[in-house]
């Protein structure tokens, strides 16, 4: 099999043959590589155990069970969304942290959904068989949407499990993922954000690093701690330099299989526009936060998200503007096409694959022509506030739900109903002043992007300035009232229309144009999917079906070793220690964000300063992997992923372990902090034994 990897490596990435590349499907694990390179046998049991101990946070992260009583761990910055929703002016969970000393003290999170993957089934043949021969893109899209909704509904009815058909290889394959859902999730422990995100934005994506980026929850069922048979045993000592480690988590999105035409569009249009919006929001939220502490508290998580994306996207753009990276991509594609061309007489699979590149380029061009209005109107950039998002969901639910399941917009199919309702009826706080701030800014952005004279813009602004219009809309809408939402959702279309809610009416005003843009986007995505599938088929004839698809926020297995790297001719050691934390605070004069929480200053003499704190390793991860467990050969939890370094940011397009590294909190530091800093001995004990001590409640 070695040859395949060499060829594939040459075609896809620079160092695939030797590098620890890959976000592997759990049903197509890299057994050969692990055996040959690491003499490791990934048995079915080992894989199943890890799969079922892994948890997906529907809000956008990963985690894992660490006790049979449903205890689970993720990152602070994954849990922060839940912490923020629980926080008030009086009780700031994000800033101050939290520690439940008993089950009774554990706090139920709002609208948090966890998913645990139970099974994967390949449904590619069934999906493709449902597309009529010679259907145009529009018909093919509708047929594909219908069959996917049908498969999902059938599975949900049969198993009661959340059932999602996942599009892999950009349309080369379709797999049905079934998940157990947990919606009663309670907060057990969170450190202060100051130590969880020590070094703040300046140190984000950097290494060496000193972050206790953890948050501990417990899954409940029927009001009691969930009993889980698959959980990870927490290692007291963490990993060692050179150890083989695995990461099991949900990488959100990569673009490694995009064609050069698509990548250039990402480089020249998508990323610049994304960054334009992020810069704008960062300044908006940053200046608002500076005007008072309560402002800062309310905007905290939003601002963190913006800053985090800004830094990540700058790194991605830098990658795509690096002629070496783009050159590799161009060379790879040329070679691929040359091979297809050389064999086009020998197999009918090659000619369509050759044409596919042009079809993708054409679709990309059409999509690029409507990127701006799409992002504004369908993407909602023009109406950036929770009130609008809720209003649109109510409006569209009223229209979509009476339709047959297979003909609805994707987000309203039966199999997504439970998750949709969980989010829609959330009691999370929505702040009027913050809504006005973000809505006036985004209406201003709309007016400048589409022009203040645009007829739709004029209708949206209704003869008012963006600020005036935002004030009026936010004050007059009732969608922030949850019973009102339920009334309209249950009352259906007639109730929605009869309410004459101004925000819903705004959504309605925009909807014809938004839906038209979406229709074009869906059709062109269908064109691209079919073209990518043609390329995938040709590649499979050439190379076999091995390899891994781009990330899709579904469970993947990555592997690699704990390993330092060279930067500016200096060796960066793979581990930091707790001593390094105190050292860094001193060097930076304890100036925020390099100051320490009081308790860390007070307890310094108690902790073992030699404890390893953060470490880097080579497994292939990306955003969405945050909170993923890092496990050793024995399947023990030795750390938790929370970041990649700056050099890992171009991994979106090409993996390289020359300098790119994932960054984790060492399990040794987690136990040490719980035990010696936070006096959270009962949690440390539950981690050590894998079960809750019953007496303590």
Angle ∠(680,58,636) on CA atoms, nearest 5: 50
Among the listed residues 96, 201, 347, 511, the single contact to a second copy using CB under 8 A: 201
| Shortest distance in whole angstroms from residue 307 CB to a second copy | 8
| Shortest distance in whole angstroms from residue 458 CB to a second copy | 9
| Shortest distance in whole angstroms from residue 363 CB to a second copy | 19
Is 401 exposed, middle or buried (CB count within 10 Å of its CB: 0-12, 13-18, 19+)?
Answer: middle
- Cα–Cα dist 32/17, whole Å: 12
Shorter beta-carbon distance to a second copy: residue 108 or 475 = 475
- Cα–Cα dist 420/413, whole Å: 10
Q: At what angle do helices 350-369 and 502-543 cross, to 10 degrees?
A: 160
Question: Alpha helix locations (H) across 573-618?
Answer: 578-587, 598-602
The 570-589 site mask, x for binding a second copy (CB under 8 A), equals: ------------------xx
Cβ contacts of 292 within 8 Å, gap of 6 or more: none
Q: Is 452 in the site for a second copy (CB under 8 A)?
A: yes
Q: Which of 661, 545, 639, 627 is nearest to 24 (CA)?
A: 545
The 220-259 site mask, x for binding a second copy (CB under 8 A), equals: ----------------------------------------
Shorter beta-carbon distance to a second copy: residue 589 or 694 = 589
Cβ contacts of 305 within 8 Å, gap of 6 or more: none
Among the listed residues 76, 145, 264, 392, the single contact to a second copy using CB under 8 A: 264
Binding span for a second copy by CB under 8 A among 11-19, 53-61, 138-146, 279-287: 279-287
Asked if residue 611 lies in contact with residue 672, where contact means CB atoms within 8 angstroms, the answer is yes
Instruction: Report residue 28 as tokens.
Output: 């197509």
Cβ contacts of 667 within 8 Å, gap of 6 or more: 234, 235, 236, 237, 238, 637, 638, 639, 640
Among the listed residues 133, 500, 570, 591, the single contact to a second copy using CB under 8 A: 591
- Cα–Cα dist 278/502, whole Å: 28
| Shortest distance in whole angstroms from residue 571 CB to a second copy | 22
Cis peptide before 21 (omega within 30 of 0): no
| Shortest distance in whole angstroms from residue 367 CB to a second copy | 17
Binding span for a second copy by CB under 8 A among 100-108, 458-466, 562-570, 572-580: 458-466
Q: Tell me the site size for a second copy, rule CB under 8 A.
A: 45
Q: Is 448 in the site for a second copy (CB under 8 A)?
A: yes
Shorter beta-carbon distance to a second copy: residue 200 or 492 = 200
Binding span for a second copy by CB under 8 A among 86-94, 132-140, 268-276, 684-692: 268-276
Shorter beta-carbon distance to a second copy: residue 455 or 463 = 463
Among the listed residues 464, 563, 603, 681, the single contact to a second copy using CB under 8 A: 464
Shorter beta-carbon distance to a second copy: residue 4 or 509 = 509
| Shortest distance in whole angstroms from residue 432 CB to a second copy | 15
Q: Is 681 in the site for a second copy (CB under 8 A)?
A: no
Q: Give residues 592-621 in contact with a second copy (rule: CB under 8 A).
A: 593
Q: What are residue 114's phi and psi, to 5 degrees?
A: -110, 145
Q: Which of 500, 482, 389 is nearest to 438 (CA)?
A: 389
Q: Is 674 helix (H, G, I), strand (E, B) or coil?
A: helix
| Shortest distance in whole angstroms from residue 322 CB to a second copy | 4
Among the listed residues 252, 286, 492, 690, the single contact to a second copy using CB under 8 A: 286
Asked if residue 692 lies in contact with residue 226, where contact means CB atoms within 8 angstroms, the answer is no
Shorter beta-carbon distance to a second copy: residue 43 or 465 = 465
Residue 695 burial (CB count, 10 A):
5
Binding span for a second copy by CB under 8 A among 251-259, 451-459, 479-487, 620-628: 451-459
| Shortest distance in whole angstroms from residue 279 CB to a second copy | 4
Q: At what angle do helices 293-320 and 432-450 cross, to 10 degrees?
A: 40
Cβ contacts of 463 within 8 Å, gap of 6 or more: none
- Cα–Cα dist 42/193, whole Å: 37
The 330-369 site mask, x for binding a second copy (CB under 8 A), equals: ----------------------------------------
Shorter beta-carbon distance to a second copy: residue 276 or 358 = 276
Binding span for a second copy by CB under 8 A among 15-23, 267-275, 342-350, 537-545: 267-275
Q: Which of 663, 666, 657, 667 is nearest to 688 (CA)?
A: 667
Q: Which of 212, 247, 244 is nearest to 613 (CA)?
A: 212
Q: Is 321 in the site for a second copy (CB under 8 A)?
A: yes
Among the listed residues 127, 151, 257, 447, the single contact to a second copy using CB under 8 A: 447
Q: Is 465 in the site for a second copy (CB under 8 A)?
A: yes
Q: Is 453 in the site for a second copy (CB under 8 A)?
A: yes
Q: Is 268 in the site for a second copy (CB under 8 A)?
A: yes
Q: Is 656 helix (H, G, I), strand (E, B) or coil?
A: coil
Q: Is 444 in the site for a second copy (CB under 8 A)?
A: yes
- Cα–Cα dist 70/663, whole Å: 26
| Shortest distance in whole angstroms from residue 39 CB to a second copy | 39
Alpha carbons within 13 angstroms on the beta-carbon side of residue 350 total 14
Q: Is 282 in the site for a second copy (CB under 8 A)?
A: yes
Among the listed residues 31, 126, 267, 603, the single contact to a second copy using CB under 8 A: 267
Asked if residue 274 lies in contact with residue 282, where contact means CB atoms within 8 angstroms, the answer is no
Q: Is 569 in the site for a second copy (CB under 8 A)?
A: no
- Cα–Cα dist 308/204, whole Å: 7
Binding span for a second copy by CB under 8 A among 194-202, 391-399, 536-544, 613-621: 194-202
Question: Alpha helix locations (H) across 544-646?
Answer: 578-587, 598-602
Q: Which of 281, 287, 289 is nearest to 305 (CA)?
A: 281
Among the listed residues 242, 369, 402, 451, the single contact to a second copy using CB under 8 A: 451
Residue 40 burial (CB count, 10 A):
16
- Cα–Cα dist 479/501, whole Å: 8
Binding site for a second copy (CB under 8 A): 200-202, 264, 267-268, 271-272, 275-276, 279-280, 282-283, 286-287, 290-293, 310, 317-318, 320-324, 444, 447-449, 451-453, 461, 463-467, 588-589, 591, 593
């Amino acid at each position: 099999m070695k040859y395949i990897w060499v060829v594939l490596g040459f075609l896809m990435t620079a160092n695939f043959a030797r590098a620890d590349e890959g976000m592997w499907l759990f049903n197509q694990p890299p057994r050969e590589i692990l055996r040959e390179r690491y003499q490791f046998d990934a048995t079915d049991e080992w894989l199943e155990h890890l799969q079922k101990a892994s948890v997906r946070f529907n809000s956008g992260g990963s985690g894992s069970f660490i006790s049979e009583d449903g205890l689970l761990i993720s990152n602070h910055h994954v849990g922060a969304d839940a912490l923020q929703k629980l926080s008030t002016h009086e009780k700031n969970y994000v800033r101050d942290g939290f520690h439940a000393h008993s089950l009774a003290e554990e706090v139920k999170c709002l609208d948090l959904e966890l998913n645990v993957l139970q099974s994967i089934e390949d449904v590619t043949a069934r999906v493709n068989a449902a597309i009529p021969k010679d259907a145009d893109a529009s018909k093919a899209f509708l047929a594909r949407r219908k069959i996917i909704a049908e498969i999902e509904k059938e599975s949900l009815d049969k198993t009661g499990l959340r059932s999602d058909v996942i599009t892999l290889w950009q349309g080369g394959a379709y797999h049905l993922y079934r998940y157990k859902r947990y919606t009663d999730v309670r907060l057990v422990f969170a450190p202060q954000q100051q130590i969880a995100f020590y070094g703040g934005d300046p140190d984000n994506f950097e290494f060496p690093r000193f972050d206790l980026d953890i948050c501990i929850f417990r899954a409940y069922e029927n009001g009691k701690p969930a009993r889980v048979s698959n959980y990870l045993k927490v290692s007291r000592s963490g990993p060692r330099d050179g150890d083989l480690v695995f990461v099991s988590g949900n990488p959100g999105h990569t673009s490694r299989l995009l064609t050069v035409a698509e990548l250039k569009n990402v480089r020249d249009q998508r990323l610049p526009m994304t960054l334009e919006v992020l810069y704008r929001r960062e300044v908006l939220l940053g200046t608002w936060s500076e005007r008072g502490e309560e402002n800062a508290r309310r905007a905290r998580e939003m601002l963190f998200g913006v800053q985090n994306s800004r830094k990540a996207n700058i790194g991605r753009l830098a990658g795509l503007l690096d002629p070496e990276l783009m050159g590799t991509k161009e060379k790879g594609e040329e070679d691929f096409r040359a091979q297809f061309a050389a064999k086009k007489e020998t197999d009918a699979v090659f000619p369509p694959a050759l044409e596919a590149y042009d079809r993708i380029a054409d679709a990309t061009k059409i999509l690029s022509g409507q990127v701006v209005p799409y992002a504004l109107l369908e993407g909602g950039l023009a109406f950036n506030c929770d009130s609008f998002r809720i209003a649109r969901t109510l409006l569209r639910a009223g229209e979509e739900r009476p339709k047959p399941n297979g003909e609805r917009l994707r987000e309203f199919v039966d199999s997504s109903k439970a998750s949709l309702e969980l989010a829609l009826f959330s009691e999370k706080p929505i702040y009027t002043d913050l809504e006005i701030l973000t809505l006036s800014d985004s209406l201003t952005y709309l007016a400048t992007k589409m022009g203040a004279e645009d007829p739709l813009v004029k209708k949206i602004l209704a003869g008012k300035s963006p600020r005036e219009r935002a004030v009026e809309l936010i004050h007059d809408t009732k969608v922030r009232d949850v019973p009102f939402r339920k009334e309209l959702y249950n009352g259906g279309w007639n109730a929605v229309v009869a309410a004459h809610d101004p925000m819903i009416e705004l959504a309605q005003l925009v909807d014809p144009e938004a839906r038209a843009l979406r229709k074009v986007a869906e059709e062109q995505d269908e064109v691209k999917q079919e073209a990518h599938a043609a390329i995938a088929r040709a590649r499979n004839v050439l190379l076999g079906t091995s390899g891994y698809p781009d990330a899709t926020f579904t469970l993947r297995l990555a592997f690699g070793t704990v390993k330092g790297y060279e930067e500016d001719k200096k060796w960066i050691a793979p581990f930091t220690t707790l001593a390094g934390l105190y050292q860094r605070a001193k060097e930076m004069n304890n100036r925020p964000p390099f100051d320490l929480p009081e308790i860390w200053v007070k307890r310094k003499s108690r902790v073992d300063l030699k404890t390893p704190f953060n470490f880097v390793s080579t497994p292939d991860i990306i955003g969405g992997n945050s909170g993923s467990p890092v496990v050793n050969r024995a399947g023990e939890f030795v750390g938790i992923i929370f970041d990649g370094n700056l050099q890992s940011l171009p991994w979106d397009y090409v993996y390289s372990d020359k300098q790119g590294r994932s960054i984790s909190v060492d399990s040794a530091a987690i136990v040490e902090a719980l035990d010696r800093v936070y006096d959270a001995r009962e949690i440390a004990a539950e981690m050590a034994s894998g079960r809750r001590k019953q007496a303590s409640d």
